[in-house]
Amino acid sequence: MALSTTLPIRDSAPNLLQASSTDVDEHCAGLGRWRLSYDQISAGAFRGSFTQLSLPRVEVFREITSQQVRQYGQLGADSFGIGLPWDGDSELSCNGTSARGARVLASIDAEIDMCTPKAFELRGVVASTVLIAELAARLDIELPRAVWYQLRVIETAEAPVARLRAHLTAIQETISTAPERFDDPGARQALEDALLVEIMDMLPTARAHDPGRSSAARRRTVDRARELMHGSGERALSLLEVCKAVGASPRKLGYCFQEVVGTSPMHYWRAMRLNRVRRDLKRAGGAGTAIYDIAVQHGFWHFSQFSLDYKRHFAELPSETLRRARLAA
């Protein structure tokens, strides 16, 4: 099936973005036009890489993160995305639904809220929602509205997914060995057509993964708890206050978090506050900045324990983060 004649093609040269970082915020800043924020959940030094090949009609990406990360935000306006977790045994959470061994993630003009495991790799394709809708109309394909407007784990036919994986593997090998091949307009057109054929072959059979009623209830509990944890109040809530607000015992909330997010509520709650402290230290930089004051603002009352937790989580002391911020300022 040739798709090159269905829509106008901008005959522009490809743009190859390759970035790597040892800081989760710097990694997030290197995601091109994606409007996403990341919080590091697991403890340890962070390493991440992002590769994006921008073709006239589609963008092909590969992302690797070493630590467990919460990703939230949006790919950008008018964005359709298909993502393939590269490790079939990975367990991740998409919009509060846990999925082990997920083969396909779909994001269509959607808000994204995803928790990824350690050593996670995601490859995929991003295109214009308008492009996908126009192709569907011309090819007489009914798009699955049930998977619209929210990041979803989807179940679909296996054959086009396998072929899309093969294309993405070949693209990464070419980026590593002979990226100049993408300079040829004919090669770009053939590549885009091949990717779009597989995507359009997947969509008619796509349906949202059904987590079951009990899982949906646990997801609602976790969603409410995280909403409270992420609240923008002047004082950080305690875990006891969160349990009271959602009407769940610490044990029950622990079961819910372990299934939906892959970690305990205490660890998640501490990780979110440590990320906020780190960002405040990066923004501070002034000579009068007191680390203790920032730590207390985010609920850390025991300073020596806070310093140990911070170093364990980010592989550096809070004073080192502040020192770099002052040098940058």
Tens-digit pLDDT profile for residues 283-306? 886 666 789 899 998 888 899 999
Q: Are 193 and 134 in contact (CB under 8 A)?
A: no
Report how many helices (DSSP H) and strands (DSSP E) the chain contains, helices first. 11, 13
Residue 287 has a pLDDT of 62
pLDDT at 213: 63
Specify which residues 242 forms β-bridges with.
Answer: none
* pLDDT value at 91 more than 80: no
Q: What is the pTM of this model?
A: 0.85
Side chain identity at 309, as an amino acid letter?
D
What pLDDT, on a 0 to 100 scale, did the predictor assign at position 259? 80
3-state secondary structure of 254: helix
Tell which wins on pLDDT, 100 or 172.
Answer: 172
Q: The dihedral of CA 297, 299, 304, 310: what is its sign?
A: negative
Q: In this structure, are residues 198 and 132 in contact, taking their beta carbons and an 8 Å threshold? A: no
Average pLDDT, the chain: 85
The average pLDDT across 142-156 equals 73
Q: pLDDT (tens digit, 9 = 90+) per residue, 97-131?
A: 666 666 788 888 778 888 899 999 999 999 998 99
Cβ-proximal residues to 95 (8 Å cutoff; 6+ apart), any chain: 112, 113, 114, 150, 151, 152
* Residue 25 reports pLDDT greater than 90: yes
Average pLDDT of the segment spanning 223-237: 75
Share of the chain above pLDDT 70, in %: 86
**Cα 32 from Cα 51, distance rounded (Å):** 10
Structure tokens at 32: 């091109």
